[in-house]
Structure 1
Amino acid sequence: MEIEYRLDGPEDAPLLVLSNSLGTTWEMWQAQIPALTQHFRVLRYNTRGHGRSAVGQQPVTLERLGQDVIARLDHLDVERACFCGISLGGMTGMWLNRHAPERFQRIVVANTAARIGQEAGWRERAATVRAQGMNPVAESAADRWFTPAFRHSNPEVVYPLIEQLAATPAEGYAACCDALAMADLRDELTQMPLPMLVIAGESDTVTTSRDAEAIVVDAPHAHFLILPASHLSNVACAAAFNQHVITFLTAGAEHEPHH
């Protein structure tokens, strides 16, 4: 099995897939697990090139990352699941909404955009990491991921995530930068049929609230939520994040919120 994954929660509960951000592992969801496993069987996996998940021989693309999720569902013999992804994981969720909607019921995407950054920036970051390793990226990550107030108050939360980033295999991280350099779903938003909750962080400079609003404007069944966080809203606002995700994912069709 190329992709490292784990399952938590009751075996007979509906499946929820969690997809992490660039440079993190499934550990980034730790604050979600106690709440989510009350309602779901939770599948966490390490994105290709992260943790012990292989990069593989082929170039990493957004399509490949989406197919990795489908392969996990097939491996577990799960016909349909819910999905929640953040940043790169959120782009993976939008790709699945567009290209594999029959495999999912509802999708949450957080701190993401239909196009994250610019191709040149991602190519440059990939080249830096391949040449110098992960330290240059890890040194600046806390500023991108969290507000100054959260960093100051919660060092015991922030530092393990930075250490995980520094320990990410450089080639795996660079390969996912290459995927982000090419990933652009802006023209496909109107063809994402599933109910989708789009969560933004009001202080997020990587994927701004405006990026999230642009998804909601074009995707037919998308709903907007903003939290007082920077880029890792699931970490900084764990209780609110959990509550909104559970409410959205457990809403029955008869309670479908209007656009």
Structure 2
Amino acid sequence: MATAHLNDITLHYVEDGDPEGAPLVFINSLGTDVRVWDDVLPLLPKGLRIIRFDKRGHGQSDCPPAPYAMGTLVRDTETLLDHLEVKDAVLVGLSIGGMITQGLAVKRLDLVRAMVLSNTAAKIGQPSMWQDRITALQAGGMEALVDNILERWFTKAFRESDAAGVWRQRLLDTPLEGYIGCCHAIAGTDFYTPTSGLRLPTLGIAGSDDGSTPADLVRETTDLVPGSKFKLIRRAGHIPCVEQPETYAEALTHFLQEIGHV
């Protein structure tokens, strides 16, 4: 287990692939950890330096008290990549990870060569919706919302499979404080204006059955960046890298080849 002690936080991270290869950085969604990418990694081209990490309040990283600000999550990522001496990475951000990706690209273009904005948006939901969710979590813990979350995350077919139980348990294992902290960060974020100023290769990925960030919302955000590409993954919800890893890896590989990163 690798950890990086950065300012006020210790983050858990994992490196795979070629240490000298072109960097590919994955940033997880709310309520998941580095394992959300497990089925995609073996399907990617050889020769990449693949970096995954648990954001604050998730997985094996530190869990400070809520609330968190989006700027803090962006800074954590920035400081980790500086610590690992990464430049010109392709960032793959899922959900809140896609928001962090947008924020980092605006702040540190030297770190971000290209973006994959997966099941995300420049603004997700309204602050009042997030406050309702936070209130429910504070009253009833993750148990109060776990089934509701899984409904937005996955298609009905996947929810009825054996694999769904694993993700239910992982959600329940997510530190409540960390989940709430990141809810606050999403609630306070609107990146429409800064993201529309970006000029870098961008791929948007959406799931046809995503109940959290519908495909039209993902496309709208992707379209903010001129020349961007968009991929819709059918029979997938909010976490297509879990439901359709082959299709996800194929879209990612094609993008990496197109921009000359592999």
TM above 0.5: yes
Mapping for residues 69-218 of structure 1, pairs under 5 Å = 69-152=77-160, 154-156=161-163, 158-218=164-224
Say which SS state the counterpart of residue 242 (structure 2) adopts.
helix
State whether residues 126 and 175 of structure 1, in contact with CA within 8 Å, keep that contact through their aligned partners in structure 2.
Answer: no
Change (3 A) 1:56 1:242: same
Report what 1:222 is aligned to: 228
Looking at structure 1, the residues matched to 29 and 155 of structure 2 have their Cα atoms a distance apart, in angstroms, of 17
For residues 33 and 225 of structure 1, the distance between their equivalents in structure 2, rounded to whole angstroms, comes to 19
Aligned counterpart, 1:42:
50
1:257 is aligned to: none
Distance 1:107 1:39, change over 3 A: farther
Unaligned runs of 5+ in 1: 255-259
- The two structures, once aligned, show a CA RMSD in angstroms of 1.8
Q: CA deviation at 1:122?
A: 0.9
Q: How much has 1:19 moved relative to structure 2?
A: 0.7
For the Cα contact (< 8 Å) 2:66–2:181, is it kept in 1?
no
8 Å Cα contact 2:152-2:211 kept in structure 1:
yes
Deviation at 1:97, TM superposition (A): 2.2
Q: Is the 8 A contact 2:122 2:192 kept in 1?
A: yes
Q: Deviations over 1:108-162 (max 9, x none)?
A: 111111111110111121222223221112122221111112223x322x22111
Q: Does 2:54 align with 1:51?
A: no
2:226 corresponds to 1:240: no
Residue identity in the other structure for 2:171: L
Aligned pairs for 1:8-27 (under 5 A) are 8-27=16-35
Percent of pairs with identical residues: 32
Instruction: State the Cα distance separating 1:37 from its structure 2 match.
Output: 6.2
Write the distance in 2 (CA, Å) between the matches of 1:63 and 1:37. Answer: 32
**Structure 1 residue 252, shift from structure 2 partner:** 3.6
Q: Which segments of 5 or more consecutive residues in structure 2 lack a partner in the other structure?
A: none
In structure 1, what residue type is equivalent to 2:237? S
Q: Letter of the 2:153 partner, please give it.
A: W
TM-score, structure 2 normalization = 0.90
- Partner Cα distance (1:253, 1:68) in 2: 28
**Residues of 1 paired with 2:249 and 2:133: CA distance?**
32
SS at match of 2:223: helix
Compute the TM-score of the two structures, normalised by the length of structure 1: 0.91
